[in-house]
Amino acid sequence: MKIVHVVETWTGGIATYVQSLAIRQRDLGHHVTLLCDVSKVDGGVHIEGVDVVHYRSSRNPVRFWSISRSLQRSVASLYADVVHCHSSFPGMYVRMRNHAGVRIIYTPHAWSFLKTDVTTPAKWGYGLVERVLARRCDQILCMSFDELRAARRYRIPAEKIEFIYTGIAPDDCVHVAKQRDETHPINVGYFGRLDYQKGFDVILEALPLLNADLELHAFGAAVRGGVNTGSGTIDDTRITYHGWLNTAGIGHAMREMDVIVVPSRWEGLALVPIEAMRAGKVIVVSGESSLPEQVIHGYNGVILRELTGQCLADNLNRLTLDECLRMGANARHVFESTFQIDRFLNTMMSCYERP
């Protein structure tokens, strides 16, 4: 089978998701190609055995039709059997044109109408566009119950929707909880874009309220709509910025943390909590969107009652190393029982292979 994945940016959760999916499909003997925007790829894309083809995306509506035409030509030249488009703009570009004989699958990775920083009329406008474009694909994959409920609320055709919980590959490390004495600082990790959607402003708001024994580490960078970290009102000595890391680097960094914080305002199904559970770490998440689906409060993590710096700081300040170890072990158990990649991949491939 010839499979084409269409993405825009190659950072964060979507890159991790598509890379793991492409590698597994390659290993099954399929021919896999990645179509991505060269201007939004830092350091290039290098996946052994996976072809990479570039295109240029744009937020200018005048260019949408020509971008769609360019992608149509690329898909035709690759003789694709399946095109899987990831996130709103690639989904729009691909579905604006007909692709005869090609199975089109779309994963929104958080519907555009789930955004909390746009007006209600804009949300309904996004919903109308998604509803029209839904008729031009074979399957839409929702990754969380929150996405599924939103699809029903905005009247996306139910017959197009498939619900699949994401899974990721296990790591090769033997998980042995690090024993630390109570004088050791608690390392708090944030992984992702430094922007409003991901709630990085809440991290900065909590910073001056944290106990002295908490050390905060941010792994990521601003992409679009980034949060200003240089206002002069923030004590930068309380946080260490590490920039983007590759997959291996993320795994190593997570194992060095005691707590992983995910204060997002909206998500499809966030990968960071799953990666944190794989690393055996307690997770602190917002009560927004799909995030509460991944946490049993007090068992494998903490769900914030309010998405404020004060609430985040209060919950982090209450954590002890013993609690981190206990909930971290539980988090690893949740990963092993719920988020293994084999179950996810089998369900995904059945979507690809349907007539």
Binned at pLDDT 50, 70 and 90, residue 182 comes out as low
- Residue 234 above 90 pLDDT? no
What residue ranges in the chain does DSSP mark as E strands?
A: 2-6, 31-37, 51-55, 82-86, 103-107, 139-142, 161-163, 186-191, 214-219, 239-241, 259-262, 282-285, 301-303
More reliable by pLDDT, 174 or 131: 131
Q: How far apart are CA 159 and CA 24, in angstroms?
A: 27
Tokens matching residue 5 = 């994945």
> Which domains, ranges and CATH numbers included, belong to the chain?
2-167+340-353 (3.40.50.2000), 186-338 (3.40.50.2000)
Tens digit of each residue's pLDDT (9 = 90 or more) over 17-38: 898 889 989 999 999 999 999 7
How large is the average pLDDT for residues 149-166?
93
- Residue 190 above 80 pLDDT? yes
- Residue 42 above 70 pLDDT? no
Tens digit of each residue's pLDDT (9 = 90 or more) over 55-64: 999 999 999 9
- Residue 9 above 90 pLDDT? no
Please say whether the dihedral angle defined by the alpha carbons of residues 282, 287, 291 and 295, taken in this order, is positive or negative: positive
Amino acid at 284: V
Q: What is the pLDDT of residue 232?
A: 45
Closest CA to 26 of 2, 49, 5: 49
- Residue 53 above 80 pLDDT? yes
Tens digit of each residue's pLDDT (9 = 90 or more) over 256-298: 999 999 999 988 888 899 999 999 999 999 999 889 999 999 9
Other CB atoms within 10 A of residue 113 CB: 24
Other CB atoms within 10 A of residue 98 CB: 9
Based on its alpha-carbon atoms, the radius of gyration of the chain, rounded to whole angstroms, reads 20
Binned at pLDDT 50, 70 and 90, residue 345 comes out as confident
Strand partners, 104: 83
Tens digit of each residue's pLDDT (9 = 90 or more) over 77-116: 999 999 999 999 999 999 999 999 999 999 999 899 988 8
Mean pLDDT of the chain: 90
